[in-house]
């Protein structure tokens, strides 16, 4: 991926499907080609070598046993039922039948053991692949997620990885076992009668060529099917989330959402039918051919018994040989068809593995350097933030570079309260994302405690920074569990102290379940002010040196804003606070206010100093002071 595009600030709403699709195509085009797909897939099994070797041994033993009953059948007919003296030999029949039943029982037990091993290995590999992909995605930069649909990412984790489960579970046993069975059956057929064997295998090369072509078609259909599944997952995630449902109901667009879902579902159903039916005529032809061989064998055997082509005559072939040959041929039929199906599955799963490896081959645009160092504890400069000529660019919809920030410089001292104000789209939020290195500066340097953030370990850097954004995210869990996301081992006393500081404790204990109250998806069972105060309490549990407030009260009503603002004031005490503000009334007490316009800092100073200058800040303040209060229109 290009290292110059560090990603733009995420939009605060809306759904741009066509743009997402274009960005996804760009992402796919930039992803490295997948070399040596088979080798990379085989490497997934490396940690399970012992189980695989044992599985192969069991498969070999089971395959060898599978051809024993047909060979015993020949002796049962020729020596037990119809010996040369004309009288059945019951003693021999008992021995041979006992051996045949024993072979079936032992083969069945081996099959159970083999199934357990293959299922264990296959699911373990699939599980580790899913965790590996999830871990890799966690390391991707924020801009990757702002330009990729969540549903598409979910589809890679669920549909693509799940789609190869059967292949992973059955490939070893299917390939090795069926190959051995086919070879053993072929050797047994040659040993029984080479002339009949020629009849049984004459068309095999043509079937192999046909199978390869069918596999190529199925692989293409499989890729399209997974893409359709990704779109379906994205539509479901967008439309059935709480936000999506509220949006569709607010604009009365449920019929359109149903139509969108139905249209993609129809496409998916069509692809799945095509994937199921592709190759069915081929397998029908194989089945007809293989099933007809016994009848042809009877005809050829009769021809040989009559001395056809001078190759036979009476006694040239026995009834036991004919019965045994047809049984062995049946042993060849099913493994051969199974082998062809496995080959098709491997070709199909190759498309899925390619999609998985495509994501695994993406390299995070923001990552620790080999010599990145942690921040030293107790450093007196912890909380100091500085920008030195920082420029941040990302390509717009036409592919041209657009500067969100252009040569921004400032310095914030430890414990200082700094505010960034300005019109929407000026670049304020981008400033807040560059400090914890969610995005990477295109040029210039961002410094934290005197260190360039690119020289610091991101885990250590983020550990000293807390963020409270306008769009508070809470998990569908209890209040206590949401709070402990910041500190897993927090005690009830610590939870209460943080919530008291955030002015939310009394509200929580008024709920019937108190701290055990389930907040609902994204906290929709709580009011906006309650969610924000819980988010503030969560940050207080983390106890960072730097607190970033990204328009944390702009979406609240006047009363909720006042309550949350009190909590923010308490949270800001004793730590560096960087507030991205739209409402200037919330930052009039800031130590320094930076006015951002079109990616540049156009002026800075205290509230009174900036009013005295009569510049951009004074104009913004005057506009908000004369604007009608939202409460008057409630």
- How do residues 367-390 score in pLDDT, each as one tens digit? 888 888 888 877 788 889 999 999
Exposure on the CB side of residue 215, measured as CA atoms within 13 A: 19
pLDDT given for residue 564 in this prediction: 73
* Pairing assessment for the beta strands 417-421 and 592-597 based on DSSP bridges: parallel
Number of domains into which the chain is organized: 2
82: Cβ contacts below 8 Å, ≥ 6 apart: 88, 319, 320
Q: Are 270 and 402 in the same domain?
A: no
- C-alpha dihedral, 281 to 283 to 289 to 293, nearest 10°: -150
Domain assignment present for residue 226? The answer is yes
Last residue of a domain, one of 312, 337, 360: 360
Q: Are 351 and 208 in the same domain?
A: yes
Q: Are 423 and 344 in the same domain?
A: no
Domain assignment present for residue 283? The answer is yes
441/391 Cα distance (integer angstroms): 6
Q: Which burial class, exposed, middle or buried, applies to 14 when counting CB atoms under 10 A from its CB (0-12, 13-18, 19+)?
A: exposed
Q: Are 427 and 339 in the same domain?
A: no
Q: Which burial class, exposed, middle or buried, applies to 92 when counting CB atoms under 10 A from its CB (0-12, 13-18, 19+)?
A: middle
388/408 Cα distance (integer angstroms): 7
pLDDT given for residue 221 in this prediction: 78
Task: Return the SS3 of 431.
Answer: helix
Domain assignment present for residue 571? The answer is no
pLDDT given for residue 33 in this prediction: 43
Which of these, 102, 133, 110, 15, lies nearest to 54 by C-alpha position? 110
Domain assignment present for residue 548? The answer is no
Exposure on the CB side of residue 130, measured as CA atoms within 13 A: 18
**pTM of the entire structure?**
0.67
Q: Are 299 and 425 in the same domain?
A: no
437/431 Cα distance (integer angstroms): 10
Q: Which burial class, exposed, middle or buried, applies to 363 when counting CB atoms under 10 A from its CB (0-12, 13-18, 19+)?
A: middle
Domain assignment present for residue 479? The answer is no
pLDDT given for residue 448 in this prediction: 93
Contact present, 425 and 12 (Cβ < 8 Å): no
Q: Are 401 and 346 in the same domain?
A: no
Q: Are 246 and 335 in the same domain?
A: yes
Sheet holding 385-395, edge to edge: 401-412, 385-395, 443-448, 451-452
Q: Is the Cα dihedral 380, 374, 392, 149 positive or negative?
A: negative
pLDDT given for residue 9 in this prediction: 39
pLDDT given for residue 555 in this prediction: 58
Exposure on the CB side of residue 286, measured as CA atoms within 13 A: 25
Phi-psi domain of 241 (left: phi exceeds 0; alpha: psi -120 through 50; beta: other): beta
Number of residues that this document lists for the chain: 634
Contact present, 447 and 503 (Cβ < 8 Å): no
Q: What is the pLDDT of residues 17-53, one digit of tens each?
A: 333 444 344 434 433 343 456 677 777 778 888 887 8
Contact present, 268 and 164 (Cβ < 8 Å): no
Which of these, 445, 536, 457, 553, lies nearest to 499 by C-alpha position? 536
Q: What tokens were used for 170?
A: 């059955």
Domain assignment present for residue 539? The answer is no
Q: Are 41 and 139 in the same domain?
A: yes
pLDDT given for residue 290 in this prediction: 67
Residues of the chain with pLDDT under 50: 1-35, 629-634
Q: Are 79 and 170 in the same domain?
A: yes
373/449 Cα distance (integer angstroms): 13
401/5 Cα distance (integer angstroms): 9
Q: Are 354 and 409 in the same domain?
A: no
549/539 Cα distance (integer angstroms): 11
Range(s) of the domain holding residue 40: 28-360
Domain harbouring 426, CATH code: 3.40.50.300
Domain assignment present for residue 354? The answer is yes
Last residue of a domain, one of 360, 384, 406: 360
Report the Cα–Cα distance between both ends of the chain, in Å, rounded. Answer: 49
Q: Are 441 and 302 in the same domain?
A: no
30/27 Cα distance (integer angstroms): 5
Q: Are 287 and 149 in the same domain?
A: yes
Domain assignment present for residue 520? The answer is no
Domain harbouring 274, CATH code: 1.20.1560.10
């Amino acid at each position: 991926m290009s290292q110059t595009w560090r990603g733009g600030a995420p939009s605060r709403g809306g759904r741009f499907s066509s743009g997402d699709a274009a960005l996804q195509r760009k992402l796919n085009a930039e992803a490295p080609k997948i070399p040596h797909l088979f080798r990379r897939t085989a490497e997934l099994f490396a940690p399970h070598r012992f189980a695989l070797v044992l599985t192969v041994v069991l498969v070999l033993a089971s395959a060898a046993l599978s051809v024993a009953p047909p060979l015993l059948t020949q002796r049962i007919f020729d020596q037990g039922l119809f010996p040369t003296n004309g009288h059945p030999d019951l003693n021999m029949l008992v021995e041979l039948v006992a051996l045949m039943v024993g072979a079936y029982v032992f083969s069945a037990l081996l099959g159970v053991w083999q199934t357990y091993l293959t299922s264990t290995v296959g699911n373990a590999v699939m599980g580790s692949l899913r965790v590996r992909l999830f871990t890799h995605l966690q390391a991707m930069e924020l801009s990757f997620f702002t330009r990729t649909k969540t549903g598409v990412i979910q589809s890679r984790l669920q549909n693509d990885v799940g789609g190869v489960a059967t292949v992973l579970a059955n490939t070893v046993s299917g390939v090795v076992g069926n190959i051995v069975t086919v070879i053993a059956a072929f050797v047994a057929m040659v040993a029984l009668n080479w002339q009949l064997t020629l009849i049984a295998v004459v068309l095999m090369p043509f079937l192999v060529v046909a199978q390869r072509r069918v596999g190529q078609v199925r692989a293409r259909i499989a890729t399209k099917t997974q893409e359709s599944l990704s779109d379906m997952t994205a539509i479901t995630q967008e439309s059935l989330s709480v936000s999506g449902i509220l949006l569709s109901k607010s604009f009365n667009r449920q019929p359109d959402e149903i139509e969108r879902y139905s249209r993609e579902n129809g496409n998916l159903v069509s692809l799945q039918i095509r994937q199921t039916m592709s190759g069915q005529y081929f397998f029908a032809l194989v089945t007809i051919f293989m099933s007809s061989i016994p009848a042809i064998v009877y005809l050829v055997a009769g021809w040989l018994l009559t001395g056809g082509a001078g190759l036979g005559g009476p006694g040239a072939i026995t009834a036991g040989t004919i019965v045994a040959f047809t049984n062995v041929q049946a042993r060849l039929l099913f493994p051969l068809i199974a082998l062809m199906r496995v080959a098709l599955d491997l070709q199909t799963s190759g498309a899925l593995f390619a999609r998985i490896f495509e994501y695994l081959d993406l390299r995070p645009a923001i990552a620790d350097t080999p010599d990145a160092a942690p921040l030293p504890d107790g450093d007196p400069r912890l909380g100091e933030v500085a920008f030195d000529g920082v420029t941040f660019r990302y390509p717009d919809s036409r592919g041209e570079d657009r500067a969100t920030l252009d040569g921004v410089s400032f310095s914030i001292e430890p414990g200082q309260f700094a505010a960034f104000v300005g019109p929407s789209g000026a670049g304020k939020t981008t400033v807040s994302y560059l400090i914890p290195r969610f995005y990477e500066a295109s040029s210039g340097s961002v410094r934290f405690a005197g260190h360039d953030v690119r020289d610091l370990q991101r885990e250590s850097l983020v550990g000293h920074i807390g963020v409270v954004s306008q769009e508070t995210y809470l998990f569908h869990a209890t209040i206590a569990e949401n709070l402990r996301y910041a500190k897993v081992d927090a005690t009830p006393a610590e939870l209460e102290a943080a919530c008291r500081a955030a002015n939310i404790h009394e509200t929580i204990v008024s709920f019937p379940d108190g701290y055990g109250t389930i907040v609902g998806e994204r906290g929709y069972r709580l009011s906006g002010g309650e969610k924000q105060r819980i988010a503030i309490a969560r940050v207080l549990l983390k106890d960072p040196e730097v607190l970033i407030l990204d328009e944390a009260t702009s979406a609240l009503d006047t009363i909720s804003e006042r309550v949350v603002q009190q909590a923010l004031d308490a949270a800001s005490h004793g730590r560096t606070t960087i507030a991205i503000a739209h409402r200037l009334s919330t930052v009039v007490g800031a130590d320094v206010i930076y006015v951002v316009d079109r990616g540049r800092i156009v002026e800075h100073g205290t509230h009174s100093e900036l009013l005295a200058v009569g510049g951009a800040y004074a104009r913004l303040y005057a506009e908000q002071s004369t604007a009608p209060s939202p409460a008057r229109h409630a």
